Amino acid sequence: MTTHTTDKQATVSLVEAKARTIRTRIINMLGAAGSGHPGGSLSAADIVATLYFHEMNYNAAEPRWPGRDRFVLSKGHAAPVLYAALAESGYFPREDLATLRKIDSHLQGHPDMNKTPGVEISTGSLGMGFSAAVGMALGLKIDKSESRVYTLIGDGESQEGIIWEAGMFAAQHKLDNLVGIVDYNNLQIDGHVSDIVDIRPVAAKWSAFGWHTIEIDGHKVEQIIGALNEAKSIKGKPTMIIANTVKGKNVTFMEGQVDFHGKAPSKDEVAQACGEIEASGPLG
C-alpha cells in the first residue's frame, strides 16, 4: 500500500521529487532503447506521479489485488512514464527499465497487461484504453466496489470517435468512480492539435457530454491533488480533468518541440536532459 502523508506541503514536495525521478528515468530508458516517445511521457509525469504517490490505493506485491484503484494509460505511447512510475512503486526492479523495447523485455513499446506487472490493460491503439476504462468502472459498479478508475488520454487521442462514444456511455450510467484526465499539451505527431483538428473548447465538450469538468495546470501538483479531491466529491457523473501541459516539460530542448513526440534522445541529449531535471530540484 502507498503511504499518504498528511502534511500538505510535504506531500506536494514528495510527489514533485518523484516526478523528477520519473522524468530522469524516462530520459534514460528512451536513450537506452533508441526509440520511443519522450514528449508525451514528460508532459504526463506530474499527473502520473500524483496518481501513484498520492492518490491511488494499490499493492505492488499483489498487482491484481481486487481492492486496488486502476490506472489506464489510454495514450499508450507514453508507456515510459507508466513504466517509470511502476518501477518506482515497486512493481518490478528499476534495472528492468533499461530493457525497454528489447526483444526479451517485459517492457513492450506500448503497455502489455500480460507482460508487465501493474499494467491494467494493453493499450497503444488510441481511444480504446479510455473505452476499456469505462468498462472497468462499470464492472466495479456492478460489484459495488469502492475502487476508482483513472485514465489518461491525449489531446490528439481525443480526435478518436470512440472517446466520445465511451464518454456518452459513462455519463449515461453515472460512473462517478471514473476520472478521465486530458494531457492537453496541444501537440500531436503532425503538428499543433489546434492546427490539425482542433478539439477546443474541450472542457465545454465534456461538460456537454454530461461530465463534471475541472481545468488545471497539469504541472502543478497541488492543483492535480485538488482536482482529484474534487472529483471524489462529485456524485452521479464522471469527472474529466483538463490538464494543461507542456510537451517535453522540464527539458528545455524538448519543450514544445513536436519532433520529440516520437524521437529518442541521443547520448549527449540524455546527459543534458538529466542535468536540467536534477538541477530543478531534489529527486525522490
Partner 1 sequence: MSEKRATREAYGETLIELGRANPNIVVLEADLAKSTTTIKFKKEFPDRFFDCGVAEQNMMAMAAGLATTGKICFTGSFAMFATGRAFEQVRNTIAYPSLNVKICPTHAGITVGADGGSHQTIEDIALMRVIPGMTVIVPADYYEAKKAIAKAAEIDGPVYVRLGRATLPMIFDEDYDFVPGKAIVLKQGTDVTIFATGIMVSSSLVAAENLAKAGISAEVINISTIKPLDDNAIIESAVKTGRVVVAEEHSIIGGLGSAVAELLCEKHPVPVARVGIKDVFGRSGEPAELLKYYGLTDEDISQAAKGLLGK
Say whether residue 136 binds partner 1 (CB under 8 A).
yes
Total residues at interface with partner 1 (CB under 8 A):
31
| Binding residue for partner 1, selected from 21, 50, 122, 177, defined by CB under 8 A | 122
The Cα 68–Cα 65 span in angstroms is 6
Beta carbon nearer to partner 1, 124 or 262: 124
| Binding residue for partner 1, selected from 62, 143, 146, 259, defined by CB under 8 A | 143
Beta carbon nearer to partner 1, 143 or 195: 143
The interface mask with partner 1, positions 171-190, x = CB under 8 A, is: --x-----------------
Beta carbon nearer to partner 1, 6 or 114: 114
Say whether residue 131 binds partner 1 (CB under 8 A).
yes
Beta carbon nearer to partner 1, 63 or 284: 63
Say whether residue 259 binds partner 1 (CB under 8 A).
no
| Binding residue for partner 1, selected from 63, 99, 165, 280, defined by CB under 8 A | 165
| Binding residue for partner 1, selected from 132, 153, 228, 240, defined by CB under 8 A | 132
The Cα 47–Cα 182 span in angstroms is 10
Which three cell numbers, joined as nine digits, stand for 114?
A: 500480460
Beta carbon nearer to partner 1, 93 or 161: 161
Say whether residue 146 binds partner 1 (CB under 8 A).
no
| Binding residue for partner 1, selected from 27, 121, 251, 273, defined by CB under 8 A | 121
CB atoms within 10 A of CB 86: 25
Residue type at position 197: V
| Binding residue for partner 1, selected from 6, 9, 161, 267, defined by CB under 8 A | 161
| Binding residue for partner 1, selected from 1, 61, 168, 271, defined by CB under 8 A | 168
Say whether residue 62 binds partner 1 (CB under 8 A).
no
Concatenating the DSSP letter of every residue in the chain gives -----S-HHHHHHHHHHHHHHHHHHHHHHHHHHS-S-HHHHHHTHHHHHHIIIII----TTSTT-TT--EEEESSGGGHHHHHHHHHHHTSS-GGGGGGTT-TT-S--SS--TTTSTT--S---STTHHHHHHHHHHHHHHHTT----EEEEEETTGGGSHHHHHHHHHHHHTT-TTEEEEEEE--EETTEEHHHHS---SHHHHHHHTT-EEEEEETT-HHHHHHHHHHHHH--SS-EEEEEE--TTTT-TTTTT-GGGSS----HHHHHHHHHHHHHTS---
Q: Which of residues 67-86 bind partner 1 (CB under 8 A)?
A: 72
Q: Which of 45, 27, 61, 60 is nearest to 221 (CA)?
A: 45
Say whether residue 128 binds partner 1 (CB under 8 A).
yes
| Binding residue for partner 1, selected from 27, 84, 133, 231, defined by CB under 8 A | 133
Contacts to partner 1 by CB under 8 A? 72, 112-114, 120-122, 124-125, 127-129, 131-140, 142-143, 161-162, 165-166, 168-169, 173
